[in-house]
Structure 1
Amino acid sequence: MAWVFLLIAGFGEVSAMFFLKMSNGFKKITPSLFAVLAGGASFYFLSLSLRDLSIGTAYGIWTGIGSAGTVLLGMLFFKEPVTQKRLLFISFIISGIIGLKMVS
């Protein structure tokens, strides 16, 4: 279950960043509330995963999911540039996540 909790935590991190962007600097109440709730849920599920996973592995994967997912969301929803270099470096992050999973 630790890996499931970590995956949920990663998606919670991506959701929190999405709603944080939508909140316009906490000026919009509904997205602000969702950002705080998603962030809290992300930390909660990360803490559950830490019962069985090493902190280095769990944190690395959690931040990797958050980073790669947030960049992809930015490209899809906020018209951020899609370039070969950005996609290359996202693939490096994803490779690191897979590598950490394989060695733990």
Structure 2
Amino acid sequence: MAWIFILIAAVFETAWTFSLKLMTFSELKTLRFNNFYTPNYGLPILLPFLGYIVFGVGNVYFFSLATKSVSTATAYAVWTGMTLVLIKLSETFFLKQKTTLLELLFLSLIMTGILGLRFLTGMKQ
């Protein structure tokens, strides 16, 4: 179950990263109650900030659950690797960014390390 928590935490971290990318602090400072309900102003400014909070808390919560069963170093390495892979996949499929063969090679090495840690941890139990 801890490995599922790490995966969920990685998904939350990926969403948190894109919330941070979409958030503009200068526009967030201009948000007031009287202009919150204007079309194309209030919600597009507020949603990335709310996502930043919700995804950040979800990330910390599920990662803390995972570290109760898996060693912290292993959980952190796997969480970081999964997050990197998910961010790259999101950029490729949703933001239509180009991916080179070298990037795919190194991402597959990261995934190999994650699977190796998973199987190594499973053999210890």
1:35 paired residue among 38, 42, 52:
52
Cα distance per residue 1:25-83 (max 9 Å; x no partner)? 67432112112211211111000111111011100111111111001111122232211
Which is greater in Rg?
A: 2
TM-align CA RMSD: 1.6
- Could you say what secondary structure the match of 1:69 adopts? helix
Pair 1:67 & 2:65 matched:
no
Which amino acid in the other structure matches residue 3 of structure 1? W
Separation (CA, whole Å) in 2 of partners of 1:26 and 1:73? 26
| C-alpha contact (below 8 Å) 1:20/1:26 kept by paired residues | no
Structure 2: unaligned runs, 5 residues or longer: 28-44
2:116 paired residue among 74, 81, 99:
99
Instruction: Give the superposition deviation at 1:18.
Output: 2.2
Which amino acid in the other structure matches residue 6 of structure 2? L
| C-alpha contact (below 8 Å) 1:14/1:65 kept by paired residues | no
Separation (CA, whole Å) in 2 of partners of 1:26 and 1:58? 36
Structure 1: unaligned runs, 5 residues or longer: none
Separation (CA, whole Å) in 2 of partners of 1:57 and 1:72? 22
Pair 1:17 & 2:34 matched:
no
Instruction: Give the superposition deviation at 1:24.
Output: 4.2
Instruction: Give the superposition deviation at 1:17.
Output: 1.4
| C-alpha contact (below 8 Å) 1:13/1:38 kept by paired residues | yes
Aligned-pair identity in percent equals 37
Pair 1:46 & 2:57 matched:
no
What is aligned with 1:77?
94
What is aligned with 1:7?
7
The TM-score normalised by the length of structure 2 is: 0.75
Choose 84-93 or 23-32, whichever is displaced more: 23-32
Q: How many residues of Structure 1 are paired with residues of Structure 2 in the alignment?
A: 104
